[in-house]
Amino acid sequence: MKLLTSMYPRNGRLLPAGGWFTLALGVFLVTLEIVGRYTVSDLHDALAAFSLLMVVCAVVARHRREPLPWVNQLLTVANRCLDALACFRYDHGIDLRGTPPLPRRTPTLVFVILLVLLAWAAAAAGAWAAFPTGWRVLSYYLPYTVYLLFMLALWGMLIAITVVGIFVPVAMLDTRLKSWVGETDRRGAELAAIVGYAVLVATVAYFVPPVAVLALCVLVAVVAWIVYLPRGNDGAALLWRSSPGTPIYAVPLRRVLAVVVGLIALIAFDVLLTACGGRLLDSSRGNDTMPLTALLGTVAAWMMPGLFAAFLLKLYSARRNDPARRTPPTLHITGADRAAVRRAAQIAATWGWHVRLAPAKREAAFVGIEIVEPHQSEAKDFNPRWPLKVSLADLEEGTVKARLDRRDEIHVRRQLFRGLQKLFKRACMFKGPAGGGFWLAPHWWFVEAVAREDADASTEESPPLVGPAYGRVIPPRARQHSHAVLRATQIDMIFVEDGVSYRSLERALRVLTELYDVHAGQRRAEELHFRGLPKVKVMIHDYEPGNPFRSDLYPEPKFDDLSRVRVLHIFRDRGGHEETIEPPFDWSSTPVPVGALG
């Protein structure tokens, strides 16, 4: 008897730490495998998957309280698998310079993902062709737990598509409502929009097969590939390299957007084909073994048209508000002689200007003229009153056009500085705990708003994007003028340190506009052009691989090491950074008074 009792553990435990929990988990998995062999529908699979998900949550909670050895081993294996994928990791950055040009090449990972998606589509089509009533029969040939994990992933993607498909159109509607009704309470309208859109999609999904949606996904992928093919020289590109020390390649942002959109369309096609491939051309049948998956897939499928429409509207808005475009100015013409006014409109149209005739209201951005008799013309006066009084002879000669162009330029600059002042006041309210600054780039279409320099450590007090979007504060033509000035002076971004006043920022920007005017946009800005500005130190640095910004006196803004950007830094003047150099003095050639020689 003593020999038998000596075999028991002295601590009173029959199993090691966590053994009973692990044993119970094993019993559950075995039971789940046995029950799974008798299930006939994915409704039963949903109940089994829910119980498996609850058990996984219990394992996570138990492991946090008392680590389980086998969980640690699984995590170790997972980390090794992630390390094995290190060959697909890329360093990346942004290229706003474009000169000298870098070799163009798309990462290999993109084509690997493309092949995987094509293989997925072929496997899903083959599974539905072999099993028209549902491919869940494959669960009899696979471990049921593995099958449930795959189904959880599939259902999760379908639910994510549905949620995003409702949220994105409603968010765009909310933006429209905000511009229509202001900051009033919009919760009732938003709730009605969400419910109405969901009911509409559910009704369409019930009566219309989803084959049209899958065809739409294929069409979007093909169009994205067509957009990807041309080899254009865009103004901005994405830089990447596989590892430090390897060559650096560039991918134009146009191609980046085409790749992202095309891959998303293919992923949606694969997910929807996997879920509802048996219902592509007809409605539900009584012998379906996957009714729940088909229902989720059909509803998610009819969310895709709304998502694609939202994407097209966003793309159209980005193209319309692209600062790289050039929109002609508008000339507002008034006058007592209607025939002369119409003739003036024809002349302005030959210049490429838009024309508005009285009694249409003259807006602040319009350049105004009044058609008068030749002896009343003020076209050559030094300081005339606006609207400018001109005659038809002045317009036909074309000499007054330069003055109107300059007046329009003054208008857009005033709008630009007025908008930047509003953004600056908003940005100054958000400051990082350890100082820093913010980035200004109103001339790039993909930069939405003023960004904090410490965006990685953003908090509620210092969010990554501060203030309203550029497009809401700065008119389109004012942003176009900023693009013309900053690209001509070769300034890609502007960094403003916390504590710099708007007046100092405006002085620095005035230097750029004066440089643009004097040299007709043919000379780039240098640090010497900003000497003498009070209370600030302006520095220009060309960020490029291997050439980060270094300063012992001024803060170093965070920036990607792989980027190529020419940045205008505006710091608070700390003094003591310039050494006074006395001019050379030669005593041998000093003149001597004549009286001293006697």
Domain boundaries, the chain: 2-88, 91-145+157-320, 330-398, 409-572
Instruction: Answer whether residue 593 shows pLDDT above 70.
Output: no
Which of the pair, 5 or 374, is modelled with greater confidence? 374
pLDDT for position 580: 44
Per-residue tokens: 226: 């067509």
Q: How many CA atoms lie within 13 A of 285 on its CB side?
A: 13
Instruction: Answer whether residue 303 shows pLDDT above 50.
Output: yes
pLDDT in tens, 158-173: 999 998 988 888 888 7
Q: Average pLDDT of 121-134?
A: 88
pLDDT in tens, 361-396: 888 888 888 888 888 888 888 888 888 898 888 888
Residues with Cβ within 8 Å of residue 26, at least 6 apart in sequence: none
Angstrom distance (rounded) from CA 405 to CA 410:
9
pLDDT for position 4: 43
Instruction: Answer whether residue 15 shows pLDDT above 50.
Output: no
Closest by CA position to 384, among listed 396, 398, 367, 397: 367
Strand partners, 252: 237
Distance set, CA 140 to CA 113, 294, 432 (Å): 29, 20, 58
State how beta strands 91-95 and 237-241 pair: antiparallel
Instruction: Answer whether residue 37 shows pLDDT above 70.
Output: yes
CA angle 26, 31, 36 (to 5 degrees): 125
CA angle 29, 30, 36 (to 5 degrees): 85
Q: Average pLDDT of 289-304?
A: 88
Q: Average pLDDT of 493-513?
A: 91
pLDDT for position 486: 93
Closest by CA position to 468, among listed 417, 421, 414: 421
CA of residue 65 relative to chain centroid, distance: 40
For residue 532, the one-letter residue type is G
Residues with Cβ within 8 Å of residue 589, at least 6 apart in sequence: none
Q: Average pLDDT of 95-115?
A: 88
Instruction: Answer whether residue 553 shows pLDDT above 80.
Output: no
> Where is mean pLDDT largest: 1-10, 370-379, 453-462?
370-379
Q: Where are the beta strands (DSSP E) in 206-279?
A: 237-241, 249-252
Q: Which helix (H) or strand (E) holds 403?
A: helix 400-427
Closest by CA position to 537, among listed 495, 566, 565: 495
Contact 569, 586 (CB under 8 A): no
Q: For 37, which DSSP code?
A: T
Q: Average pLDDT of 553-575?
A: 81
Contact 224, 262 (CB under 8 A): yes
Across the chain, mean pLDDT equals: 83
Please report which confidence band the pLDDT of residue 286 belongs to, taking 50, 70 and 90 as the band edges.
Answer: low
Please report which confidence band the pLDDT of residue 454 belongs to, taking 50, 70 and 90 as the band edges.
Answer: low
Q: For 520, which DSSP code?
A: T
Contact 198, 335 (CB under 8 A): no
Q: Average pLDDT of 313-321?
A: 85
Give the residue ranges of DSSP H helices in 474-597. Answer: 476-488, 502-518
Helix and strand counts by DSSP (H, E) for the chain: 17, 13
pLDDT for position 179: 64
Contact 534, 512 (CB under 8 A): no
Residues with Cβ within 8 Å of residue 28, at least 6 apart in sequence: 55
Least confident residue range of 115-129, 256-270, 442-456, 493-507: 442-456
Angstrom distance (rounded) from CA 294 to CA 300:
10
Instruction: Answer whether residue 123 shows pLDDT above 80.
Output: yes
The answer, yes or no, to whether the previous bond of 230 is cis (omega within 30 of 0) is no
Q: Average pLDDT of 346-361?
A: 88
Instruction: Answer whether residue 184 shows pLDDT above 70.
Output: no
Which of the pair, 408 or 459, is modelled with greater confidence? 408
Angstrom distance (rounded) from CA 543 to CA 10:
67
pLDDT for position 379: 83
What is the percent of the chain where pLDDT is above 70? 86
CA angle 490, 498, 464 (to 5 degrees): 80
Please report which confidence band the pLDDT of residue 535 belongs to, taking 50, 70 and 90 as the band edges.
Answer: confident
> Where is mean pLDDT largest: 485-489, 498-502, 555-559?
485-489
For residue 233, the one-letter residue type is N
Angstrom distance (rounded) from CA 95 to CA 569:
18
pLDDT in tens, 207-259: 888 888 999 999 999 999 998 888 766 678 888 888 877 888 999 988 999 99
Please report which confidence band the pLDDT of residue 514 belongs to, taking 50, 70 and 90 as the band edges.
Answer: very high
Residues with Cβ within 8 Å of residue 287, at least 6 apart in sequence: 133
> Where is mean pLDDT largest: 91-100, 470-479, 585-594?
470-479
pLDDT for position 594: 47
